Structure 1
Amino acid sequence: MSILSISTRRARCALLAGAVAACSVAAHAETWPAKPITMVVPFPAGGGTDLVVRSIQPLLQRELGQPVVIDNRSGAGGTIGSGFVARAAADGYTVGVVTTSTHAVSVALYPKLAYNPAKDFAYAGFIGTSPYVLAVHNAMRVADARTLVARLKADKSQHSFASVGVGTVSHLMGEQFQKFVGVPMVHVPYRGAAPAYTDLIGGQVQIMFDNPVGLAPYIKAGKVAAIAVTASTPLLPEVPTFASQGVPGFEQQLWYGIAFPKGTPAAIVDRFNAALNKVLADKAVAEDLAGKGVTARPGTPSALQAAVQQDIPYWGKIAKSVGAIGE
C-alpha cells in the first residue's frame, strides 16, 4: 500500500470521526434537557442574587421541561461558585449565575483568579440590572449623603463598612466611598448579604452598599436608613440618587446573567437563552423582579459577553484607584 493511500485513509477516518462527533453533539443538543439542570448561585441563600434567581426559577423549569436545582456555593466574593462552573462538564447540565462582581470586578481583585471570565464561559444572557443603595445603621442619625459625609469627617471614632464579600461591587463601592470621604474605615466582608444585614441592623457595622432587592424590606421597616441610590428605583422611590445630592461618581449598576462552561454546544446555549427571554418577558416575573429592585433585561448571549468584556477594564480602573485587592 502506498504512503499516499495510507495518508488518504487516515484523512478519511479523521473526517468520519469528526462527522460522528458532530452528529453526537447535535443529537445531544436536540434531546437537551433530558434531566435536571443544576444552577450554581455563587452567593448564600437569602441574599440578593439568590432572591433574583428564585424569581425566574419556577417558569424557567416550565419552559425547559426539567427541574432547575439551585446550588448555593458561596465564598471569596462569589469566585468559588464561579470557578466550579468554569470547571464543570460542558454538557448543558451545569449553569452558573454571573454578576458584575464575579465576572468583571473579580479580575482586578484576584491576580490568581481560578477562571478567566472573558474566555472560560459560554454566556447565555442577562437576567436584569439593579442599582445600588447606601444604607446606614440608624444610630448614625443622618438622612442624606452630604450630612453623612460631614458626620464621618467630624466624628473621630472608628467606623466600618460591610460588604457581601471581598471583590464584590459592594466592596469596591465601599472603598470608593471611603476614598471620597477621606476618612479611614474598616472593611468587614461577609459571606453574602444576609449576615451583613444582620450586623448592619445590630450596629456592628455602620455603612453598607448593596442592591435594593435585599435591603429594601429592612429600610421600609425602619431597621436601617437609606441615604442614596446610584440610580432611581421604583422599589425605593423616595430615596434620592447620589447625583441629585451633588455627590459625583456613584452611578454604577449591577447586572445579573447566566453562563455555561466554555464548550457547551451553541444549540444548548441558544435553547436556554430562548427559554430565559420568554420567562423575563412574562409580566408577573418582570413585576416580581421590579419589586426586588431589578429591571428585567431579555437579550442575546453576545450582549452579556460584550458587557463582561467592557466592564473588566472599567472596574479594574476603579479597583486600582482605591487600592482594593482580594483577601
Structure 2
Amino acid sequence: MNLSPRAFIAALACGLCTLAAAQSAFPSRPVTLMVPYPAGSASDFTARTFHDPLGKQLATPVVVENLGGAAGAIAAVKLLSAPADGHYLFQGSPNELILSGLVNKGVKYQSGDFRMVAPVAVSHLVLVAAAHVPVDTMDQLADLARARKAAPLTYGSSGPGTLYHLLGALMAKRTGAELTHVPYKGGAPLMQDLLGGQIDFAFMPYQSSYADLVKQGRIKVIGSLADAKLPAPFQDVPSYKASRQFKDFGFSIWTAYLVRQGTPQATVDQLAAAFQAALQQPQVRGPLEAQAKTLFAPMPLEQAAAFYKAEIARYQELVKTVGFEAQ
C-alpha cells in the first residue's frame, strides 16, 4: 500500500500515540504495597488485609513488601527511588513520613516528597507494661519511674525519633522521671522483648491479640491515649484523662497510602478510587475494625492533601515541645 508523505506522517504519529498510551497504561504490572516494618507487625496486618481486595479493584496482582530499618526511612527511600508511576505505594504513618525527616539528619527526603492517595485508618495507642512491672495504672508507672533513678525503667519503640519514642520522652518531661529508651526495627521484635521482660513498657498501637496475652499474664494494658473507650475486654482500661500526670496526652496513629510526587494525576485518581472501593468491602472493614481501628470516610484528594499538611504542622510542634535534636 502506497501512502502520500502527509498520510505516512499522520499514520506514524497515530502509531506513536498508540504506543505511548500503551506504555503509560496503569497498571501495567503488579502493584506493590511497601510496608516499612517486618512481617507480623500491626502495619503488616493492614497491608495484608488490603492487598487482595485492592488487586481485584485494579485488576492486577497486589503484593506486600516488608522492609524494616531506620524507623521506616529505608523503605521510604526505596519507594522514592522507584519510578513515579503508581506501581509502588508506601504504607505510611507520621513516623516515617513526617518525623523521620525532622529527627534524623541522615534522612534526605521530606514529607512533601510524597502525595497522599488514601488515608485508611486511625489506631488507638495504649501503654503496655511487662508482666514483671509492679504497676496497674499510668500514674503508678510514673511514680515507679521517678523512684527508679538509679536503675531507670526501660521503654521500647520502633526506632529513634518515632512517635513511640517521642511519647516516652514526653512522659519523662511531664513527670520528671528518668527513662531509658530501647529502639527496635519494628513492633514485632519489640513485643517479643516486652513479653520476655527485657524491657519494662512501651507505647503501642492497640491490637485485639493483646487480650489473650493479658489473660495469660504476659503483659498489662495499663492505660489508653484514646478519647473513646477501648473495645472489650479493655473497655475499663482508664484513659489518659483519668490520670494526674498524663494530661494532654491524647495521641493516635493514622495509616495512609502514598505515592511519589510526580505520579500522573490519572493514576492517582485510579488508585484513590480503588482504595475507596476496597474500604467499603466487609473483608477489609471487618478485620481492621476488629483491631479497634477507626476507618476514614472516603476523602477527596484535595481534602487528603489538607489533612496531610495539618498533620505535618502538628508533629513539628511535638518535636519542638519535647526538645528533640536531630541526630
Please classify the TM superposition score into its range, dividing by the shorter chain length: 0.7 to 0.9
Partner of 1:229: 224
Equivalences for 1:166-205 in 2 at 5 Å? 166-205=160-199
Report the CA distance shift for 1:326/1:26 in structure 2 as closer, same or farther (over 3 A). Answer: farther
Residue 141 of structure 1, CA deviation:
2.1
Residue 67 of structure 1, CA deviation:
1.1
Q: Does residue 268 of structure 1 match 2:263?
A: no
Distance 2:251 2:203 in 1: 11
Report the CA distance shift for 1:253/1:286 in structure 2 as closer, same or farther (over 3 A). Answer: same
Partner of 1:11: none
Contact 1:125 1:302 in 2 (8 A): no
Equivalences for 1:296-311 in 2 at 5 Å? 296-297=295-296, 298-311=298-311
Give 1:216's match in structure 2, choosing from 210, 226, 245. Answer: 210
Partner of 1:6: none
Amino acid corresponding to residue 224 of structure 2 in structure 1: V
Secondary structure, aligned partner of 1:74: coil
Q: Does residue 291 of structure 1 match 2:274?
A: no
Partner of 1:321: 321
Partner of 1:137: 130
Report the CA distance shift for 1:91/1:149 in structure 2 as closer, same or farther (over 3 A). Answer: same
**Unmatched tracts of structure 1, length 5 or more:** 1-16
Distance 2:33 2:186 in 1: 17
Secondary structure, aligned partner of 2:111: coil
Partner of 2:114: 121
**Unmatched tracts of structure 2, length 5 or more:** 1-12
Distance 2:299 2:15 in 1: 33
Residue 194 of structure 1, CA deviation:
0.8
List per-residue Cα deviations over 1:229-276 (Å, max 9, x = no partner). 111332632322101334312111111011111211111111111111
Amino acid corresponding to residue 241 of structure 2 in structure 1: A
List per-residue Cα deviations over 1:278-305 (Å, max 9, x = no partner). 1111233212101122112132333332
Q: Does residue 254 of structure 1 match 2:253?
A: yes
Give 2:89's match in structure 1, choosing from 85, 90, 95. Answer: 95
Secondary structure, aligned partner of 1:132: strand
Distance 2:48 2:326 in 1: 28
Amino acid corresponding to residue 132 of structure 1 in structure 2: L
Residue 321 of structure 1, CA deviation:
2.3
Amino acid corresponding to residue 250 of structure 1 in structure 2: F
Report the CA distance shift for 1:113/1:24 in structure 2 as closer, same or farther (over 3 A). Answer: farther
Secondary structure, aligned partner of 1:124: strand
Amino acid corresponding to residue 67 of structure 1 in structure 2: P
Question: Which TM-score applies when normalising by structure 2?
Answer: 0.86
Report the CA distance shift for 1:215/1:171 in structure 2 as closer, same or farther (over 3 A). Answer: farther
Amino acid corresponding to residue 227 of structure 1 in structure 2: I
Distance 2:223 2:18 in 1: 55
Partner of 2:9: none
Contact 1:41 1:73 in 2 (8 A): yes
Farther-moved stretch of structure 1 (150-159 vs 99-108): 150-159
* Number of corresponding residues: 308
Residue 103 of structure 1, CA deviation:
1.3
Farther-moved stretch of structure 1 (301-310 vs 282-291): 301-310
Residue 36 of structure 1, CA deviation:
0.7
Contact 1:97 1:258 in 2 (8 A): yes
Amino acid corresponding to residue 223 of structure 1 in structure 2: R
Farther-moved stretch of structure 1 (248-257 vs 20-29): 20-29
Contact 2:148 2:178 in 1 (8 A): no
Question: Which TM-score applies when normalising by structure 1?
Answer: 0.86
Contact 2:194 2:200 in 1 (8 A): yes
Residue 20 of structure 1, CA deviation:
10
Residue 307 of structure 1, CA deviation:
2.6
Give 2:104's match in structure 1, choosing from 89, 106, 110. Answer: 110
Question: Cα RMSD over matched residues?
Answer: 2.4
Distance 1:167 1:238 in 2: 31
Secondary structure, aligned partner of 2:29: coil
Partner of 2:143: 150
Partner of 2:10: none
List per-residue Cα deviations over 1:184-231 (Å, max 9, x = no partner). 111100000111111111111101001013862534543110111111
Contact 2:33 2:47 in 1 (8 A): no
Secondary structure, aligned partner of 2:221: strand
Contact 2:119 2:254 in 1 (8 A): yes
Distance 1:77 1:124 in 2: 22
Amino acid corresponding to residue 220 of structure 2 in structure 1: A
